[in-house]
Amino acid sequence: MDETLVVANGIGRDFPDGNAGRITVLRDVDCAISSGARIALVGPSGSGKSTLLHILGGLDRPTSGRIEWPSLGSFEELRPRQIGFVFQSPSLFPALTAGQNVGLPMILAGERDAADRTSALLLDAFGLAELADKLPEELSGGQAQRIAMARALAIGPKLILADEPTGQLDSTTAQFFFDTVLNRLENTGIALVVATHDDAIAARMATRWTMDHGWLRSGPYRSKAT
């Protein structure tokens, strides 16, 4: 039976614009994510995709509306066990090796004994085993993104939110990377939401949500004004 992981009702988000005004980034968005979901979040740059992901993952709070995580627990319980996040910008801890970065969520969750083995398995699955002892400064942007995805998978969260995870990869590497991700998630019930500009990646997801100037224009849930 599917679990409802996230429910957002009428959420909006705005930020100061530096001139005593406000910039509205999200506008009255309704959406929900169930276990096992495969959602592509598409739309032009600046349409609100990253902000929506941050709010769905509890990394930011909406200015208006309400968000809940029915099957994940309270806001304080979301990380590191319930939600894995892959950021668009580099997010590896610079003082830790690639292998240590991947195993970090398990250590934070009290599963230190399994961290090294899980890290090694995931790096091997992504074709990155030879980078286990490398520091982030020694990695390319694409390598760092793949390691960040391995880190998100390590603890086996119920939801993974990924912001342009293939943006720095060529098309062949991106497809191999995404094959690996989908294979790891198969039959796990883990939900995946990917913000992407890559139509080939979006086409492989079961559901497509389209953002446009802060509105959620398409998908099973829509901004109320559409």
Architecture of domain 36-60+73-208: 3-Layer(aba) Sandwich (3.40)
Q: What digits encode the pLDDT tens for the residues 36-58?
A: 999 999 999 999 999 999 999 99
CA dist 166 → 89, 90, 176, 202 (Å): 12, 13, 10, 11
Task: Indicate whether 78 pLDDT > 90.
Answer: no
- What are the residue boundaries of the structural domains of the chain, listed by start? 36-60+73-208
pTM comes to 0.92
Q: What digits encode the pLDDT tens for the residues 137-155?
A: 999 999 999 999 999 999 9
Reading the block at residue 62, the tokens are 């909406």
Task: Indicate whether 224 pLDDT > 50.
Answer: no
